[in-house]
Structure 1
Amino acid sequence: MTRRIFGPGLAVALSMGALTACGSAELVVIAALGDGTDPNARLLDALEVQLLPYDRDAVFDSLAAAASRPEPEIPADLLATQVQISEARQAWTAAEARWGVLRETVDSLSRQLEQMDRNTRDYQNLYNLWEDDSDELARVERDRDGYFDQFTSLQEEAIGRMDAVRAVRADWADEAFMDVDAVVVAKIEMSGLNMVVDTTDASGGFRIDVAPGDYWVHARYELVSEELYWNVPITVARGEPMEVRLSRENAEVRPIF
């Protein structure tokens, strides 16, 4: 694993454990999709986490407010269509998973029936079960195909408008945020701290030594149709290690458009 330390105009790559600043404080970051009480929470491996000595949301908000024109909005009907596309995709994938389970079950029952005497009650009972599962398999297959057709139809109808809106918003962002790098460098210089970037390991976390001070823990994690966005303010002090948990509960859920 490689840790990156960013000071004003400087990027340095350090291996794990190489950061031993005098008087530093220890920070533990853990990323999971559940809260701290869920033992089965999915740990997020290989998630890039940035420890920023400035509030990135405030930076982008101020630049957006100072822009020569407001940010182009996403039409409400297009957002509604995106929700419909997401729901159709989820229904399709759920039906696909159910179809796979039923297909395996029906095949297994068929193999068992081939080895049995058709004149026995056990055969008849198992055959009835095979017949019921076969009927359900056919129904789920029809549902699956219908959901897929709905998903592709909605997506094909909206893709042109979505691409056009994305292009307009991207052009606006290029113009509005053209000075963001200079603003960030100034913020880092004012803080007297460094920006640190690290990635979580298989345990969903990492430990890091940093200078005491105010930071914002920033990360992004993409799901199927939405993004979990973190910009969590913390104050790091010397003493006992500080633990920060990134979860759905303290994330901003943003639609992926």
Structure 2
Amino acid sequence: MTRSNFLPVILGAVLLSACGPTQVVVTAEIAQDDQSQDAEPRALGDLEIRLFPYDRDAIFDSLTATAARPEPPIPDSVLTAQNQVAESQQAWRDAEARWNTLRDTLRTLSDELDQMNRQQGQYRVLYNEFQDMEDEYADVEDERDAAFEAFTSLQGASLAAAQEIRLLRESWADEAYAEVGVAMTAHERASGLQVLADTTDANGITEFEADAGDYWVTARYELPYTELYWNISITVVRGEPLQVRLMRDNASSRPKL
């Protein structure tokens, strides 16, 4: 290719890039349950991500404000019960983890004792250690079983209370948000842009090709007793790739009934 022909090709590529959609990379990850400094964040794979060219939360807020009746609140008693269930479950898991550790240690000590001469002084030391740990093992087993019974009992009562308020709130939402689809369609048309949707890969990453404009990046991730919700405002500028990180720090935590 001659120099005179090469320059138009380069200029054409630049103009095409400037006029085309812009890459938006979304990464989703949250901290591990292990809060140690060495713990790597956990990628949220298969998470649905949407880019709305309007603020959907503002639409819901508007419909909530004009609803015929107020939204039924979640009673404090329901939230308190959920917290108690979570604490009880953690107590059970902690007891089970300790029980597993003691069980494995007892097996190791037993194997060591089987290989030793009972006349050795070290045998008596290990044997006493084994007996003490065996007593602790029995105590922890009782604690584990009691913790599990407490957890299942609290969970049953909590689920019943949560279901009652959930049905009330769903009934209210069906009435209050009956026109939400119409409102969203109108906002999308007014923006001149399209709603974009995709799911993250195993590394918690997805990519979009978005036209220039304002968007809101939304996603939901369910935890055992709460839901993480993202609705992050971004501005896509033509020709300027953008990266968005969804983390626990920039999410709203909402109760899950």
Give your verdict on TM over 0.5.
yes
Number of the residue aligned with 2:27: 30
Post-superposition CA distance 1:72-129 (Å, at most 9, x none): 1122122211111111112212222232232222222222222222221332333233
Shift in CA distance, 38/100, structure 1 to aligned 2, threshold 3 Å:
closer
Q: Distance in 2 between matches of 1:152 and 1:226?
A: 18
- RMSD, aligned α-carbons: 2.2
Q: Distance in 2 between matches of 1:176 and 1:38?
A: 47
Q: How many residues align?
A: 237
Q: CA deviation at 1:21?
A: 11
Number of the residue aligned with 1:46: 46
Shift in CA distance, 21/190, structure 1 to aligned 2, threshold 3 Å:
farther
> Contact (CA 8 Å) 2:18, 2:238: kept in 1 or not?
no
Specify which structure has the higher proportion of helix: 2
5 Å-filtered alignment, 1:12-31, equals 23-31=20-28
Number of the residue aligned with 1:227: 227
Number of the residue aligned with 2:4: none
Number of the residue aligned with 2:105: 105
1:185 aligns with 2:182: no
> Contact (CA 8 Å) 2:85, 2:158: kept in 1 or not?
no
Q: TM-score, normalised by structure 1?
A: 0.85
Q: What letter matches 1:148 in structure 2?
A: F
Instruction: Name the SS of the counterpart of 1:71 in structure 2.
Output: coil
Number of the residue aligned with 1:10: none
Post-superposition CA distance 1:204-234 (Å, at most 9, x none): 1122211111111111111121111111111
Number of the residue aligned with 1:202: 202
Number of the residue aligned with 2:13: none
5 Å-filtered alignment, 1:1-257, equals 23-34=20-31, 40-257=40-257
> Contact (CA 8 Å) 1:21, 1:210: kept in 2 or not?
no
Q: Distance in 2 between matches of 1:26 and 1:113?
A: 64
Q: What letter matches 1:140 in structure 2?
A: V
Structure with higher Rg: it is 2
Q: CA deviation at 1:29?
A: 0.7
Q: Distance in 2 between matches of 1:122 and 1:241?
A: 67
Gaps of 5+ in 2: 1-16
Post-superposition CA distance 1:17-52 (Å, at most 9, x none): xxx9952111111111039x9871111111111111
> Contact (CA 8 Å) 2:29, 2:246: kept in 1 or not?
yes
Q: What letter matches 2:161 in structure 1?
A: R
Q: CA deviation at 1:68?
A: 0.5
Shift in CA distance, 157/106, structure 1 to aligned 2, threshold 3 Å:
same
Q: CA deviation at 1:53?
A: 0.9
Worse-matched range after superposition: 66-75 or 90-99:
90-99
Q: TM-score, normalised by structure 2?
A: 0.85
Shift in CA distance, 21/39, structure 1 to aligned 2, threshold 3 Å:
farther
Q: Distance in 2 between matches of 1:206 and 1:127?
A: 57
Instruction: Name the SS of the counterpart of 1:221 in structure 2.
Output: strand
Gaps of 5+ in 1: 1-19
Worse-matched range after superposition: 222-231 or 26-35:
26-35
Q: Distance in 1 between matches of 2:113 and 2:75?
A: 57
Number of the residue aligned with 2:7: none
> Contact (CA 8 Å) 1:48, 1:219: kept in 2 or not?
yes
Moved over 3 A (4+): none
